[in-house]
Amino acid sequence: MLINRGYKTEIDPNNKQLTLLAKNAGAARYAYNWALNLKKLAFDNKTKIPNSIELQRELNKLKKTELPWMYEVSKCSPQGALRNLDIAFTNFFRKCKQKVKGKKGFPKFKSKKNGIGSFKLTGTIKVSNKYIQLPRLGKLRLKEHDYLPLNAKISSACVSEKAGKWFVSIQVKETIEVPTKDEAIVGVDLGIKTLAVCSDGTTFDNPKALKSNLGRLQRRSRQLSKKVKGSKNRKKAQRKLARLHYKISCIRKDTIHKITTHLTKTKSKVVIEDLNVSGMMKNRRLSRSIHDLGLFELRRQLEYKGKWHGCEIVVANRFYPSSKTCSSCGWIKKDLTLADRIFDCDSCGLSIDRDLNASCNLESYTVSSTGINAYGEVSSGLASSKTKLTS
């Protein structure tokens, strides 16, 4: 199976390379904002919006007169920014055509206040155990050795900055063998108290990355707001706050990667719920905790890792009552609330943890061609025995 895969790792540039990296990121940011201004004028005047090729020709003319400093950086940096702007406008018009609710995501101008930024490079890119060679930048030291593939065909490289650290991400094409597994089905119930509860009894704790660091986050935000704008102390406070945000995101991503890798490598089928995350976020008491979970990222990783490791990902219907249904007899407890952590069945007398009961129901979830759920008549509460329908 031929796949596109990205490898991202931190680099350790010297002072000269740091200057070149900042110049390339600045050139990409300038080209993006310059092109966005022209596109926005055309959009407001209801005239033809120029594409990246037309804008690149105009930018090349300006290099000879008004922007000679752009010759100091790679030509790929502004070109990649113009292509990204085209993609942003395409997504905006697609959402308008589909009449997506809420904001449509009109492209915004980039600012150094949100970070130095990133840029994309193509051409001759070579990788060794300790170095990566990029166009116009030379050999950059890698902080993590023997991680990037040596013999893979590299299509492009993206260099980015976050919290004072520089990273390089390469896009390669790889051929992998999808393994065949014995039948091993597991249902996974996602929650706030415990991030994931599996029907086989395995649980994954929620690290609560944001909640555990919320005090420090608020304190550093207050310290930043009290600093004089433009001062060196304000820049120091900005770096401290950015590093803390980066630490929180790393804790969350590390947990999600470990969960999704374990499930897709050990199971042949994983059943999860189709959660209405945007609706759940409207609950002001739970919105911060739900945001801290990263539910969309978990589902996204399950889907692409499932293809790599031969694991089928099944998404249960959003209205399937996995928590309210008894996993033993199929009786539905309609008055179940979020405060009820133990599921007590009035029909068969089963007493089981609420999340474990939901994961057991997800394990037995199948959908027939007519769309009936796994229990058939049981879902209406009329039947007393559990009936499985296979697709």
Q: Give 298-322 pLDDT, tens digit per residue.
A: 999 999 999 999 999 999 988 888 8
pLDDT for position 141: 96
Same domain, 142 and 210: no
Active-site choice (189, 200, 297, 353):
189
The last residue of a domain, from among 127, 150, 175: 175
pLDDT in tens, 265-282: 999 999 999 988 888 888
What domain range is 62 assigned to?
A: 2-175
Verify whether residue 273 is a known catalytic residue: yes
pLDDT for position 101: 80
- Is the pLDDT at 379 greater than 70? The verdict is no
Same domain, 198 and 135: no
Is 358 within the bounds of a domain? no
pLDDT for position 58: 95
Same domain, 144 and 189: no
Active-site choice (86, 161, 273, 292):
273
Segment 341-361 mean pLDDT: 88
Structure tokens at 70: 């752009």
- Is the pLDDT at 391 greater than 70? The verdict is no
Number of domains in the chain: 2
Same domain, 289 and 194: yes
The last residue of a domain, from among 289, 316, 343: 316
Same domain, 298 and 234: yes
Is 354 within the bounds of a domain? no
pLDDT in tens, 38-73: 999 999 999 999 999 999 999 999 999 999 999 999
6-15, 131-140, 165-174, 323-332: segment of lowest average pLDDT: 323-332
pLDDT in tens, 172-206: 998 888 888 888 899 999 988 899 999 988 999 99
Active-site choice (161, 292, 355, 363):
355
The last residue of a domain, from among 136, 153, 175: 175
Verify whether residue 183 is a known catalytic residue: no
Verify whether residue 189 is a known catalytic residue: yes
Same domain, 33 and 167: yes
pLDDT in tens, 230-270: 899 999 999 999 999 999 999 999 999 999 999 999 999 99
Same domain, 122 and 234: no
Is 252 within the bounds of a domain? yes
